Amino acid sequence: MSFPQSAQCLFALLLPLLLLACNGQNDAPQPANQSNGSAGGSNPATAYREVRVENGGSVAGRVLYRGSPPNLPEFEPTADQESCGGAKLNQRLKIGPGGGVAEAIVYLENVPQGKPMGELRGGGTSITQVGCTYQPHVLVVPVGAAVAVRNDDELPHNVRAERDANGAMVLNRTQPRSGVTDTLRAQAPGLIAVTCDYHPWMSAYILGVQHPYYAITDSNGAFSIADVPPGTYTLRLWHNGVMQRPKRDTEGRLVGYRYDKPTELQQRVAVEPGKNAEATFTLPEVKP
């Protein structure tokens, strides 16, 4: 047998094996999506199903601050001081009567099905710039929801919205006058940090979520999550970092702020049919 004929025979013998190996590549196990446990961290591969909750329970409680309220350093209103003077106070830690902490996010982790998303208690779907602050400071919205950001000040603002996890830009738009509104969309689960290039002390947070079992604490630090399917869950808390550290350019001009890492706590809760599960979180002391 000549060399070309030998090569043809060998190829004919190997061809079925090669095809089998190629076809088998798609049968290999694929890596699962994983959550890093940060705010809004639910498995994106698991779609939430809206169902009627029969004899659901609830989770309620408070978020408290340990110790006396700290004396936080003020921000530096470097622009539009006549209009923005009242924004110099650091209000990233709001402590109410009895030590309750406002504007903390409390949520149940990994709820595969339950009440409709329309019952999410997240504070609406809009943010307003007023007095050189963003109001509200914390917002929770369903993934895919549009959030309107409106300028109600008689001066220009810049809306800079970035994914908190990786800095990916969501929106960067100048609003030159009062009444201008721009819209951003929470396309994926997780936090979006909102700032203003003109007024570096301005900040807000938007959390995109995949189920409605979230709550933002009120001025007393209280929260309540209703119509929870009975079961045992991980209850998580997120509160933004408090202490600010100025960022300056080479000439010493203020260009922004860095903040401490957010506080993230968790505990297990057992939700029984028709009953309320009590839970309390205590934030660690902030040392200026």
The arithmetic mean of pLDDT across residues 2-20, rounded, is 48
Provide the mean pLDDT of the chain: 86
Instruction: Give the pLDDT score at 25.
Output: 39
| 24 confidence band (pLDDT: 50, 70, 90) | very low
| 19 confidence band (pLDDT: 50, 70, 90) | very low
The arithmetic mean of pLDDT across residues 25-45, rounded, is 41
Instruction: Give the pLDDT score at 77.
Output: 78
> Dihedrals φ, ψ of 142, to 5°?
-65, 150
The arithmetic mean of pLDDT across residues 206-231, rounded, is 97
Instruction: Give the pLDDT score at 43.
Output: 47
Domain residue ranges in the chain: 56-283
Q: Which residues 6+ apart lie within 8 Å of 131 measured at CB?
A: 83, 84, 86, 87, 153
pLDDT at 2 over 60: no
Instruction: Give the pLDDT score at 256.
Output: 87
The arithmetic mean of pLDDT across residues 212-233, rounded, is 98
Q: Which residues pair with 135 in a beta bridge?
A: 128
* 31 CB neighbour count, 10 Å cutoff: 5
Nearest C-alpha neighbor of 159 from the set 128, 116, 122: 128
Report how far apart, in Å, the C-alpha atoms of 284 and of each of 70, 206, 209, 218, 263 are. 11, 23, 26, 19, 8
- The model's pLDDT over 172-188, given as tens digits with 9 standing for 90+, comes to 999 999 999 999 999 99
pLDDT at 277 over 50: yes
H or E element that contains 205? strand 203-209
- The model's pLDDT over 52-94, given as tens digits with 9 standing for 90+, comes to 999 999 999 999 998 899 999 899 877 888 888 777 889 999 9
The arithmetic mean of pLDDT across residues 93-114, rounded, is 96
For 261, the token pair is 């890492």
pLDDT at 20 over 70: no
Amino acid identity at 53: V
Q: Exposure pattern of 257-280 as b/e (b: 16+ CB <10 Å)?
A: beeeebbebeeebebeeeebbebe
Instruction: Give the pLDDT score at 46.
Output: 65
**CA 60 from centre of chain:** 21
The arithmetic mean of pLDDT across residues 179-201, rounded, is 95
The arithmetic mean of pLDDT across residues 154-171, rounded, is 93
CATH code, 56-283: 2.60.40.420
Instruction: Give the pLDDT score at 84.
Output: 86
Percent of the chain at pLDDT exceeding 70: 84
Instruction: Give the pLDDT score at 79.
Output: 80
pLDDT at 37 over 90: no
What letter would DSSP give residue 95?
B
- The model's pLDDT over 114-156, given as tens digits with 9 standing for 90+, comes to 999 988 887 789 999 999 999 999 999 999 999 999 999 999 9
> Which residue would you say has higher pLDDT here, 113 or 44?
113
